[in-house]
Amino acid sequence: MKFEIQGKDPNSKARAGIITTDHGEIQTPIFMPVGTVASVKSVHQRELKEDIKAQIILGNTYHLYLRPGTDILHQAGGLHKFMNWDRPILTDSGGFQVYSLATSRKKSEEGVRFKSHIDGSYHMFTPEKSMEIQRYIGADIFMAFDELTGIPAEYHDAKRAMHVTHRWLERCRTWLNENPELYGYKQTLYPIVQGNSFHDLRKESAQYITDFNADGNAIGGLSVGEPEDVMYEITDLVTDILPQEKPRYLMGVGTPWNILECIGLGVDQFDCVMPTRNARNGMLFTWNGVMNMKNAKWKDDFSPLDELGTSFVDQEYSKAYVRHLFISEEYLGKQIASVHNLAFYLDLVQTARKHILEGDFNEWKNQVVPRLRQRL
């Protein structure tokens, strides 16, 4: 994997670049739609490519391990072939899903033993197992297996989890060095900065990750319910330490305004389930603010769904029609909203990229963020 910075904003830490993988190039800053179980919910792969213009998607190690399983993925030749997606894929390590199974897991230095949410069967994830599963999935970018703590947390818990994350990172690298790639293309490991909301821990972890000298780096343990100002504070702190010449990935973030603010803090890659999850509940993100499509105000509004939208659904369907679909509980409403939101998120980061290259990103961001936050 290679990363080239093509431009920087003079009044923030924002930068525009290109990540090159064996499955294609990724223009940064970039948003990565989440395809948890080998599908981005409610959206065809053709729509992802042609209308939404996704350049990379994210797969979930925990869920793909449980269904369809690594045997099926290996027989298919990896996730790219299984789901007919010929562009880059990033996989998370399963660490966040294991963290979310608080009542049905047991942690140790070796790894985490957990109970499947599907059938109650027990499984063990270790750094080595996470790497093995991601190798079978065949992602272009792997995430290291880490341990995170919710915010707030006790200092000693956050420190212990950070050091466990660092030890597990070394085990991830050892396993990858000892086990050859399966599908004939280069796969890259991203380590993850942890340390909760404690500045000294975040600095220590960011320096450890910098010294690890990977091709790209991630910031984890945020977007777990902390206030926005804490998210921005920690992100700003960490990007000051992580190497300039490597891409930075802020995991699980977030709203359109979160993304723009964190682009300004030097982040290059984002993912979040928000555009599709909120779409299924009737919430649409637009350049003029957030629309609740179940509101009665859209009942007789026959104007296009989003006059500024870039996807076909924005011009082909009216607000009144989409509201009707949601009120009638027709699944088509969820599909239309999902395509719209994902296309908007990709348009958001591409527009941000344009302003970075033009040198006026920070001024543009400060103008547009208040508008994005409005409730329509």
Please return the burial class of 36, using the count of CB atoms within 10 Å of its CB with bins 0-12, 13-18 and 19+: middle
Does the annotation place 221 within a ligand binding site?
A: yes
Residue-wise pLDDT for 324-343, tens only, equals: 999 999 999 999 999 999 99
Annotated ligand binding at 225? The verdict is: no
DSSP at 191: P
| Structure tokens, 229 | 């100002």
93 is annotated as contributing to ligand binding: yes
Please give the structure tokens belonging to residue 184: 């004939």
What is the pLDDT, as a whole number, of residue 264? Answer: 98
* Per-residue pLDDT band at 250 (split at 50, 70, 90): very high
pLDDT in tens, 282-316: 999 999 999 999 999 999 999 999 999 999 999 99
Query: Is 194 annotated in some ligand binding site?
Result: yes
146 assigned ligand-binding residue:
yes
pLDDT at 54: 98
pLDDT tens for 74-107 read 999 999 999 999 999 999 998 777 767 666 778 8
Q: In this predicted structure, what is the pLDDT of residue 171?
A: 98
Query: Of the candidates 218, 219, 144, which has an alpha carbon nearest to the alpha carbon of residue 176?
Result: 144
Which residues are part of the catalytic machinery? Answer: 92, 271
Ligand-binding site membership of 6 (annotated): no
What pLDDT score does 94 carry?
83
Domain 30-272 class, CATH top level: alpha beta
Dihedral angle over CA of 358, 363, 365, 366, nearest 10 = 180
Cα 58 to Cα 88: distance, rounded to the nearest angstrom: 9
The yes-or-no verdict on residue 143 having pLDDT over 80 is: yes
Provide the pLDDT for residue 26.
Answer: 98
**All residues at 6 or more sequence positions from 225 whose CB lies less than 8 Å from its CB, including other chains:** 150, 151
Least Cα distance to 19 among 1, 46, 45, 43 occurs for 1
**Annotated binding residue at 138?**
no
What does the pLDDT read at residue 99?
67
- State the pLDDT at residue 170: 98
Quote the pTM value: 0.97
pLDDT of residue 176 exceeding 90, the answer is: yes
Provide the β-strand partners of residue 271: 32
